[in-house]
Amino acid sequence: MTANDSRQGTALLYDPLRNKGTAFSATERAELGLDGLLPPAVETLDDQADRAYAAFLGYDKPLNRHIYLRQLQDTNEVLFHRLVTRHLEEMLPVVYTPTVGEACRRFSEIYRRPRGLFLSYEDRHRFREILRNRPHDDVDVIVVTDGQRILGLGDQGVGGMGIPIGKLSLYTAIGGIHPARTLPILLDAGTDNEELLNDPHYLGRRERRVTGDEYDGLVEALVAAVEAELPGTLLQWEDFATAHARRILTRYQDRLLTFNDDIQGTAAVALGALTTATRVAGTRLADQRIVILGAGSAAIGVADMIRSALVDDGVPEEEAVSRFWFVDVDGLLTGSRDGLTDEQRVYARADEHESYGLAEVVDRVEPTVLIGLSTAHGAFTEEIVRRMAASCDRPVIFPLSNPTSHAEADPADLVRWTDGRVLVAAGSPFPPVTVDGREVPVAQANNVYVFPAIGLAVTASRATRVTDRMMVAAARAVGDCAARFAPDDGDAPAPLLPPLREMRDAAREIAVAAARAAVEDGVAPKATEEELRAAVEAAQWSPQYAQ
């Protein structure tokens, strides 16, 4: 054994995609210069996962568990993904919401090893050159954020990198996108968070955010670099401020293979849960009167997605729009109000001239569906919910704001205030609720039901664009998977979304539906459903050690 062989063995142990740790066989250890660098025991991947799970449980605080999993990911990608896929329900809230919010807030404090690319404003003329520094040449999915609107926490600056890292972990764990073919990007435009600007340990650009043409030029520099270096790669926009999110999506959705998860992913999951809820209630989507609290990009996106489904079901466009009432901090959106965006004005009520608050809107409209994307904790009060339930046999209520501390209501309260009649999905994880003496899981309307499947769909089908019909197809498939993987057994009511433990299987079904829509829309090569299904199954990577 030469010194050079030993150094190669050491380098192998520091490569998270090739490292097997104690799973290297005796033969591999001898051949790869690993003798003496590992304890003598040889474990299987499942042995390692058992040991890692015990270590995970040894941390009592969610943030410490998050840090442990991130360190494991940076050490051994295969083991990390085997562990997460085996315990997805338990680890999803740690890898992603709500714990990732705290990890973003304390990013500079807990930073250990680099992952992804940081693209700063000062380097905007060199983005293509910097993209060439990516760890792996071939990339299927990029998730990018500028850190300005992280969950319900606001501007986290460079700390926003926790979001792309967490999202891409789930692209792999659920969608099966190979971890080497993912790339998280933090677009550092600066920060307006005074606490970060005054923090001597803050790791980001210590300047106010660039705005206006400078900001648009920064985004364009990123897009141009991706087009030049990684053409055909899916680019997902994540946690951009309301003022930018819709505008960026509109500008680039016909130019790139791209989508905005906050706008389109949230909307697809909400539509999927609503599809199940209407089936359980014995009603039709076209029968619903929908009140939405919050009028940001995510809320408008939810309405747009439901409206598309209504039109797809044969409801005239004007009638579909009339099914929505939006309420924000200033009350009901009306046509007489100044300062509305073009997207908001579509839903502004021309038949109303006074901006009533939520309680009065509920009284006047008698909604069948109440959706919250306001980040206003507790906004769905007992009085409002009881008023809604008085005129609706099976009220559908979705408090979708993240994190848990910003939810519009606690599902347990909703069950109590409606005498168990509510059909509920929440944006954050909540414990099971008791209905008629039985524990019923609360559906978490997490975007994880959609975005990994979209990544899998475009990878397998070779789609060149993400269309609205692809997202609606994915949403309907989410509802179908809820019935398939969690059927109502006549005793305890089934949740409105598929169980998380079945999400890898569900992701394949959702991906096939989205891929089929891509072919029908002409943005993917012609293929039969059988061919698409085979391509999806072949594209879904599983965490196993290479021989």
Q: What is the mean pLDDT of residues 37-44?
A: 97
Residue 91 lies in a domain: no
Least confident range of 3-17, 32-46, 445-459, 522-536: 3-17
Q: Are residues 110 and 192 in the same domain?
A: yes
Q: Are residues 454 and 515 in the same domain?
A: yes
Between 499 and 199, the higher pLDDT residue: 199
4 known member of a binding site: no
Is 423 in a helix, a strand, or coil?
Answer: strand
Is there a contact between 290 and 371 (Cβ–Cβ < 8 Å)? yes
Q: In which order are the strands placed within the sheet that holds 258-260?
A: 117-120, 182-188, 141-145, 234-237, 258-260
In the Cβ-directed half-sphere of 253, how many Cα atoms lie within 13 Å?
Answer: 15
Maximum CA extent, the chain: 84
Please give the C-alpha separations between residue 539 and each of 18, 77, 230, 362, 460, in angstroms, as whole numbers.
Answer: 20, 18, 19, 47, 6
Q: What is the pLDDT of residue 484?
A: 82
Average pLDDT over residues 436-441: 82
545 in a structural domain:
no
User: Do 40 and 120 lie in a common domain?
Assistant: no
Residue 55 lies inside a defined structural domain of this protein: yes
The predicted structure's pLDDT at residue 541 = 96
Is the torsion defined by CA of 169, 170, 174, 178 positive or negative?
negative
Q: Please indicate whether residue 435 or residue 375 has the higher confidence score (pLDDT).
A: 375
Report the C-alpha gap between 81 and 175 in whole angstroms.
12
Q: Does one domain contain both 434 and 455? A: no
Same-domain check for residues 281 and 333: yes
Residues in contact with 343: Cβ distance below 8 Å, sequence separation at least 6, in sequence order: 246, 297, 300, 304
516 domain-assigned: yes
pLDDT score of 493: 62
Between strands 438-440 and 433-435, the pairing is antiparallel
Q: Is 446 one of the annotated binding-site residues?
A: yes
Q: Could you read off the pLDDT of 365-409 as tens digits, one per residue?
A: 999 999 999 999 999 999 999 999 999 999 999 999 987 888 999
pLDDT score of 428: 84
Which of 256, 289, 308 is a domain's end point? 256
Number of domain units in the chain: 4
Q: What are the catalytic residues?
A: 96, 167
DSSP-derived 3-state class of residue 25: coil
CA distance 397 to 291: 10
Round to whole Å and give the CA distance between 236 and 249: 10
pLDDT at position 300:
95
Per-residue pLDDT at 330 exceeds 60: yes
pLDDT tens for 146-191 read 999 998 789 999 999 999 999 999 999 999 999 999 999 999 999 9
Q: What is the mean pLDDT of residues 429-456?
A: 89
Residue 103 counted as domain residue: yes
Specify the CATH number for the domain of residue 378: 3.40.50.720
239 is in an annotated binding site: yes
Phi, psi of 443 (to 5 degrees): -65, 130
All residues at 6 or more sequence positions from 84 whose CB lies less than 8 Å from its CB, including other chains: 69, 91, 95, 169, 173
Q: Is 402 annotated as a binding residue?
A: yes
Residue ranges in 253-340 assigned as alpha helix (H): 266-281, 297-312, 317-321
Is residue 193 part of an annotated ligand binding site? no
Are residues 374 and 289 both part of a single domain? yes
Instruction: Determine the 3-state secondary structure of 154 from DSSP.
Output: strand
Residue 547 inside a domain? The answer is no
- The per-residue pLDDT for 88 is 94
Question: pLDDT per residue over 236-258, tens digit each?
Answer: 999 999 889 999 999 999 999 99
In CATH, what number is assigned to the domain containing residue 153? 3.40.50.10380
Give the mean model confidence (pLDDT) for residues 102-108: 96
pLDDT at 6 over 70: no
Handedness of CA 154, 159, 164, 168 (dihedral sign): negative
Task: Provide the pLDDT for residue 441.
Answer: 85
What integer pLDDT is reported at residue 485 of this predicted model? 75
Q: Can you give the CATH number for the domain in which 80 is found?
A: 1.20.1370.30
pLDDT class of 353 with cuts at 50, 70, 90: confident
Domain endpoint, select from 215, 233, 256: 256
| pLDDT, position 98 | 85
Q: How far apart are CA 49 and CA 261, in angstroms?
A: 31
262 is an annotated ligand-binding site residue = yes
Say if residue 491's pLDDT is above 80.
no
* Averaged pLDDT score across all residues of the chain: 94
> How much is the average pLDDT of 438-461?
93
Q: Which domain holds residue 75?
A: 3-84
* Residue at which a domain ends, from 200, 221, 256: 256
| Structural domain includes residue 90 | no
